[in-house]
Amino acid sequence: MTSLVSSWVRLPVACSPSVYTPHMFTQYFTRFSATQKLATTACCALFLLAACSTPPIAETPLAQRPLASHAGQEVAMFALGLIDTGYRFGGKNPEAGLDCSGMVSYVFAQATGLRLAGSAADIARRGRPVAREQLQPGDLVFFNTRNAPFSHVGVYIGDQRFVHAPSSNGRVRIDRLSSRYYAERFETARNYFE
């Protein structure tokens, strides 16, 4: 049995998936003894039966939002272009530095022409609420970072990541919604396009 298994493990390099052709497999398979062919066929049949007998996993249907809007994608891309821009409290443009709401206001104005002015809390009062599971690039995410509701805002870019201008480290950067700090402080999300 050991020699049978070892002959299966030692496939020639020519049979690697990147250069596999059916002819190569047939050529290699013909070298097997009758016992090896029978064992290989039995294993393949068992794998197929096991795969066919597995019940499908039922997915919970969610009311899906359409794919990210063009404007949302533009906002996300523009925000990414501001990575490493300096932080400045009250800052409204990249040359002078940006704070979180200044970054959002600047990005929306430049990428879409939409005017979102004021503090993070002011911006949060506008827009349509979005469930966390349905975030799309360009949505805004809000946090309670100063023991005050909606005290911080960022631009969601997808894959549980967002661009923001935090006062810590003094630069616009990307963070994850799932990181402990932001997961504990997440409050809501808003969409401004639909």
Q: Within this chain, do residues 13 and 78 fall inside the same structural domain, yes or no?
A: no
Q: Within this chain, do residues 48 and 78 fall inside the same structural domain, yes or no?
A: no
pTM of the model: 0.67
Beta bridge partners of 174: 163
Q: Within this chain, do residues 80 and 29 fall inside the same structural domain, yes or no?
A: no
Q: Within this chain, do residues 31 and 89 fall inside the same structural domain, yes or no?
A: no
- Classify residue 61: in a domain, yes or no: no
- Classify residue 149: in a domain, yes or no: yes
What pLDDT score does 193 carry? Answer: 87
Range of the domain at 115: 70-191
- Classify residue 112: in a domain, yes or no: yes
What pLDDT score does 169 carry? Answer: 78
Per residue in 110-148, pLDDT (tens digit) is 999 999 999 999 999 999 999 999 999 999 999 999 889
**Residue 189: burial class (beta carbons within 10 Å; 0-12, 13-18, 19+):** buried
> Which residue positions in the chain have pLDDT lower than 50?
1-29, 43-44, 46-62
Domain count, the chain: 2
Q: Within this chain, do residues 90 and 127 fall inside the same structural domain, yes or no?
A: yes
Residues forming the active site = 100, 152, 164
- Classify residue 58: in a domain, yes or no: no
Q: Within this chain, do residues 101 and 127 fall inside the same structural domain, yes or no?
A: yes
**Interatomic CA distance for residues 4 and 107, integer angstroms:** 64
What pLDDT score does 61 carry? Answer: 40
